[in-house]
Amino acid sequence: MYQFPSIPRIEDAPPDLLSGGHLWIQEKVDGANLRFELRESGRLVFGGRSRVYEEDVPGPYRHAARHVRERFDSEAVRAATETVEAITFFGEATHRHTIDYDFDRLPSFLGFDIYSATKERFLPPDAVERAFERLGLEPVNTFAKEVRAVDFDPASYAIPRSRWYDGPAEGVVLRNKTGTRAKLLHPEYREVDETTPLNGDLETLAQRYVTLHRVRKTVAKIEDRGRSPTFDRVYERVLEDVFREEHKRLFQGDRSLDDRAFRSAVAAAVRRQFDGG
């Protein structure tokens, strides 16, 4: 089952995203990544961001899996392709994380992408939207379609209000028809403190990347897997995420990062947020 790639922040997006073509601007929903595919046997198999659940779906995802099973039109997929197992569907399992959505209105699953292994690419956003609707599932909501990329200014763009509660969206996902994407988060939900300088000491650098929002999301992800969010687990996951997402900045140019000292600074920052958040 194809694994969904990490979506970069807008400042780390490939240059061609904003240099030409058109963008779809979609709501970034605060949930958990869920993927699934239809097997030839007719069984739906689900997976999280990094694991495939051949047997039982973990508790936090069961509501979304049930929602999909009850609505998914498998015959429509079979009619559209001869190789059903070549298609992977991606969406958001919308259980509570850090935003208190109106869960009476919010579907348990919102589809946001479809990958075809036969074509070796993601479908364009308009095709994704039509496909989820045809299959009986609601696609993630789109704030704007076919926006000229060269006219989009991330610095001046105001994150719209969410469709799913009385407040701002967590952010938006920008994507074009070639599958290039980037995310732009509302200031309240950013996982990086942009006001903290990059050239400060290690404690300051750790403070930049170990925000309360990042720690809370990490705790929620660990709980999604049915595990207890101990300090050690939260710290290790936060550290992995920081190194993965911020590698270019942490090791750019002639910067010589003291790995052990930075790990200690991250641990201290996680401890402050973990105990106080």
Tell me how far apart the alpha carbons of residues 46 and 239 are, in angstroms, rounded to a whole number.
27
pLDDT at position 90 over 80: yes
Cβ atoms of 32 and 93 closer than 8 Å: yes
Burial class (CB in 10 A: 0-12, 13-18, 19+), 140: buried
Q: Please state the length of the chain.
A: 277
Q: Indicate the pLDDT class of residue 50, thresholds 50, 70 and 90.
A: confident
For residue 27, the model assigns a pLDDT of 98
pLDDT in tens, 112-123: 999 999 999 999
Tell me how far apart the alpha carbons of residues 79 and 109 are, in angstroms, rounded to a whole number.
23
Nearest to 176, CA basis, from 7, 11, 18: 18
Contacts 24+ apart (CB under 8 A), 237-244: 238/210, 238/214, 238/266, 238/270, 239/263, 239/266, 239/267, 241/214, 242/209, 242/210, 242/266, 244/6
For residue 70, the model assigns a pLDDT of 94
Domain with CATH 3.30.470.30 in the chain: 19-188
Q: Indicate the pLDDT class of residue 193, thresholds 50, 70 and 90.
A: low
Least confident of 131-145, 169-183, 249-263: 249-263
For residue 248, the model assigns a pLDDT of 62
Q: Indicate the pLDDT class of residue 152, thresholds 50, 70 and 90.
A: very high
For residue 227, the model assigns a pLDDT of 85
What is the average pLDDT across 186-190? 85
Tell me how far apart the alpha carbons of residues 67 and 165 are, in angstroms, rounded to a whole number.
20
Nearest to 101, CA basis, from 186, 29, 25: 29
Tell me how far apart the alpha carbons of residues 124 and 127 are, in angstroms, rounded to a whole number.
5
For residue 29, the model assigns a pLDDT of 95
For residue 73, the model assigns a pLDDT of 92
Strands (E) across the chain are located at: 22-28, 32-38, 44-47, 52-53, 87-93, 109-116, 121-122, 142-148, 171-175, 181-185
Tell me how far apart the alpha carbons of residues 274 and 215 are, in angstroms, rounded to a whole number.
7
Cβ atoms of 190 and 211 closer than 8 Å: yes
For residue 195, the model assigns a pLDDT of 52
Which of 91-95, 138-142, 265-269 holds the top average pLDDT? 138-142
Residue 160: beta bridge partners?
A: none
Tokens of 171: 């952010």
What is the average pLDDT across 27-56? 91
Q: Indicate the pLDDT class of residue 198, thresholds 50, 70 and 90.
A: low
pLDDT in tens, 201-229: 888 888 888 888 889 888 988 887 788 89
Contacts 24+ apart (CB under 8 A), 110-113: 110/29, 110/31, 110/138, 110/139, 110/140, 110/141, 111/137, 111/138, 111/139, 111/140, 112/26, 112/139, 112/140, 112/173, 113/4, 113/89
* H/E segment holding residue 244: helix 231-250
Cβ atoms of 61 and 93 closer than 8 Å: yes
Domain covering 19-188: architecture: 2-Layer Sandwich (3.30)
